[in-house]
Amino acid sequence: MGYPFYDNPLDEYLGKFFDLRFREFKASCITLDEDAAPDSRASAVKTILALQQEIRTLKLEYDLPERAFDRYKSAAELAVERFDREHPEPPKLNISSCQHTQARPTKRIFRNGALHVVLQCPECGTQPRSLPKNGHDLGTLPDFDEGLYHRLTAERTLWSEARWAVYEAQMRNGSDIPDYDRTAFEDKFRRVDPAPCLESCDHKLIDARLRTYPSGGNAVVMQCITCGHHVGAASKSKHPDWALLSPFDDALAKRSKEEFSAWARRRSEASRNDFQDYKVNIQQRLQRRELSWKDNSRFGTYYDSPEWARTRARIFDRDDYQCQSCKNTAECVHHILYDRLGAENDFDLISLCNGCHTLVHVEQRKFHNLYRMSPTEIRSMLKPSNGDD
């Protein structure tokens, strides 16, 4: 019989998919280019989001059904399924759909000590909006309940954490790889390079300033004279000589942001280097057999399963035990796509000899594995040695 090359949906799908992924890759290179103009980076981010949506739409358009037999899942996935059966998922608090019909006025004290009158919704715990202080007796208003949202979502949070713990325990079974200690990195980095005041400023030193906006309007605002942050508005009635106030120092705020941005870039670079050192150290310890690691993912365990053995044998039989590229004896079953790993559609799988299989992966690696060879490309990769079509 052989692989179904004709009227194969993967030929058209993989061509379109590679085009979108390659354009996404080029746009991502712009976002990582420190010399690129800010406008170019912003445009590249929008391009990436648009391309990702196109990719999702393309996958839905060319979606192939999974097979209904010999389906495989890893022990970790099965453990999560058991957990879900024994512990039904608690309802999700959907803030975006909450109408806040029961919201009530409260007084809320912010980090800088400023007191505001705000609404709080008892159904979702959020602050829908602020209110003017006029007309509210601050002495009788209840305090804003800062912990309400966390109490409302506590059950789901605990359920999610327990579910993840079940999955992690199965994934770690047979391995003793230590976690990357991000907290230790943060502590070490901040001792050497403390954070600028913008991140940790408590805005204790504030001053009333006159802020003039591009429209020509002005307002009395409170500015932190340490970091330049606009802390809050102030009433002109409380500052009769408001016209004589010092102007809002935009340069101070700008300098603080620039200092913080430079520090954040240093931290990000140091974090990448530290994590890379962690990975190198783990690899060296694995090579010295000081640590052990076992891939318990679906990909890491599927190929030793009876489900894959039966699937492999069935594809060999379909393809008459011939390499579908060179027509020599088939030695392996190649995944054209991994989208349905463990429940592949027969279009996803093709029999190849080891030599042709190697050639396919060499070709795909030229494009950083963004590219997957289509069935027709695999078929025409080599001319059949016996002259058959």
- Name the phi and psi angles at 147, rounded to 5: -95, 5
Q: Would you say 295 and 301 are in contact if contact means Cβ atoms under 8 Å apart?
A: yes
In degrees and rounded to multiples of 5, residue 164 shows phi and psi of -65, -35
User: Does residue 53 carry a pLDDT above 50?
Assistant: yes
Neighbours of 375 (CB within 10 A): 21
- For residue 231, what pLDDT band results from cuts at 50, 70 and 90? confident
pTM of the predicted structure, to 2 decimals: 0.73
pLDDT at 389 over 60: no
Residue 40 confidence (pLDDT) above 60: yes
Any idea what DSSP says for residue 295? Answer: -
**Interval 76-89 mean pLDDT:** 97
Mean pLDDT of the chain: 91
Furthest-apart CA atoms within the chain: distance in Å: 99
| CA nearest neighbour of 331 among 321, 319, 341, 317 | 321
Question: What does the DSSP 8-state code read for residue 369?
Answer: T
In the structure encoding, which two tokens stand for residue 52, read together? 């990702």
Strand intervals (E) in 123-224: 130-131, 206-212, 218-224
Comparing CA positions, the residue from 197, 188, 193 lying closest to residue 265 is 193
pLDDT on residue 200: 65
* Tens of pLDDT, residues 134-192: 888 888 999 999 999 999 999 999 999 999 999 999 999 999 999 999 999 999 999 99
Please give the structure tokens belonging to residue 190: 């901040």
Distance CA(97)–CA(84), nearest Å, equals 25
Q: What is residue 163's three-state secondary structure?
A: helix
Position 111 confidence tier, pLDDT thresholds 50, 70, 90:
low
Can you tell me the distance from the alpha carbon of 93 to that of 109, in angstroms, rounded to the nearest whole number? Answer: 25
Arithmetic mean of pLDDT, 95-113: 86
Can you say how many angstroms the Cα of residue 14 is from the centroid of all Cα atoms in its chain? 24
Report the run of H or E that residue 232 belongs to, with start and end: strand 230-233
Q: What is the pLDDT of residues 273-329, one digit of tens each?
A: 999 999 999 999 999 999 999 999 999 999 999 999 999 999 999 999 999 999 999
* Percentage of residues in the chain having pLDDT higher than 90: 69
Judge whether residue 107 has pLDDT over 60: yes
